[in-house]
Amino acid sequence: MKVLLTGSTGFLGAHLNKYFLGKGLSTVTPVRKPGNGNEQTTNIRLSALSDLTTKILVSENVGIFVHCAGVAHKKNVSADDFFRVNTELTLLLARRAAMAGVKRFIFFSSIGVNGASSDSPFNACDSGAPYDAYTESKYDAEEGLKAVSQETGLEVVIIRPPLIYGVNAPGNFAKFVKLANIPIPKPLGSIKNKRSFVSVNNLCDFTYLCLTHPGAANETFLVSDGEDLSTSEFLRKISKAMDKPAMLIPFPVNVMKRLAGVVGKKELIDKLVVNLQVNIEKNKVLLGWEPKVSVDEALRNALSQEKA
């Protein structure tokens, strides 16, 4: 049995492929350009993921399909693009996987499906509350996958991670690192929110467990490091991992939000100060999973490798 992994050239996909290979698995990776295949990885050159046919899945003896590829938040991405890739393509691939006899389909969704912020920690069983085209496209994909599962018997596992960080992580983590690198005082020392984060190390470990664990079938999971931090605390930990002073000074959050509104940065500050927590008790009870790597250790590993 092989694991087919989409998005293997992206941040999460590359880490997953390395982790799976380290566990002795054989992977199949659809790519646009020939990659560095080896005896454990088969690169399939495709011009588009929609060209991944049932015939290919059968010929490669794919037993598990891990779907990382998708369109994330970027400038100039239309709502149609989100739904075309994140929803329609996902469901097309799931149906082809079912026809090919693939046993399990693992889909990476987004914690944004639960909402933009949390008054109390989100749970996997909470009703969806997507708030933009991206999160709506992920939610629609989740609902469609459940329907495919009911129709075909394909086992579906849905994972909704919060902010993922690790070596060469893009997006918001890269912005945090850039902010920590600025050698001037920053008025972010008074933020007392609580946020969940997940290191790519812990996410890979959790995903590996979901490949075959019988308790994961047809379930939705939230995943984190199990250490909820304020934005200020996370920035201090990033600075410490880089052996740099945090230079965070106390400043009233309400004043900061008003000033941000004046200069057109209200949305950015809102994201920094809201709560966004997840409850991972389900993972512990149903799968026996605990995060193996602490935030401090994961940050040291990530940022020391980036410096190297």
Q: Encode the chain (308 residues) as per-residue pLDDT tens digits.
A: 799 999 999 999 999 999 999 999 999 999 988 766 566 888 999 999 999 999 999 999 999 999 999 998 777 889 999 999 999 999 999 999 999 999 999 999 999 999 999 999 999 999 999 999 999 999 999 999 999 999 999 999 999 999 999 998 998 999 999 999 999 999 999 999 999 999 999 999 999 999 999 999 999 999 999 999 999 999 999 999 999 999 999 999 999 888 878 878 777 788 889 999 999 999 999 999 999 999 999 999 999 865 55
Q: What Rg, from alpha-carbon coordinates, does the chain have?
A: 20
Q: What does the pLDDT read at residue 281?
A: 98
In CATH terms, 2-160 corresponds, of 3.30.565.10, 3.30.450.80, 2.60.98.20, 3.40.50.720, to 3.40.50.720
Query: What φ, ψ does residue 63 adopt, rounded to 5°?
Result: -105, -25
Q: What does the pLDDT read at residue 132?
A: 95
Q: What does the pLDDT read at residue 33?
A: 81
β-partners of residue 165 are 199
pTM for the full predicted model: 0.95
134 is catalytic: yes
Q: What does the pLDDT read at residue 262?
A: 82
| 3-class secondary structure, 63 | strand
Give the DSSP H/E element, type plus range, for residue 19: helix 11-22
d(CA 235, CA 84): 36
β-partners of residue 278 are 122
Query: What φ, ψ does residue 242 adopt, rounded to 5°?
Result: -95, 5
User: Of 131, 134, 139, 165, which one is the catalytic site residue?
Assistant: 134
**Pick from 176, 172, 170, 173: which is nearest to 246 by CA?**
176
Q: What does the pLDDT read at residue 265?
A: 75
Residues of the chain with CATH 3.40.50.720: 2-160
β-partners of residue 4 are 28, 65
